Structure 1
Amino acid sequence: MTLIVAMLILIYKKANNIGYKTAKRRFVLELRELITAIMITLAGGDPSKVFKT
């Protein structure tokens, strides 16, 4: 699983032309936001009320 996550971070880094530490931090933040949005949707809520994007 660690290898898969490392490869996903490297792909994210290459797609966004950023450093590894920045890619890792942004990847984690975006993944956390996505998981939270999915959980809110499955619970019957509206993610747009939680995230002001």
Structure 2
Amino acid sequence: MAQEYKDLDDLLNRSPKAKDFFNSLPEDRQFNIRQYQNNIHYDLDLRRYAEHLLRGGY
């Protein structure tokens, strides 16, 4: 089972892999993802939000 995190900050602080992925995103995408930080509890959530944004979502 995947590790659950409190929010995006918890994920980024405890998962180097997720932090590297997040930091590789353009700054505007990082900003947009942070708007949903309380909804991100898994690495997969982060990747889904990033993919959605890269496809033109908000």
- The TM-score with structure 1 as length reference comes to 0.28
- The TM-score with structure 2 as length reference comes to 0.27
Question: Which structure has the greater CA radius of gyration?
Answer: 1
Tell me which protein shows more helix as a share of its residues: 1
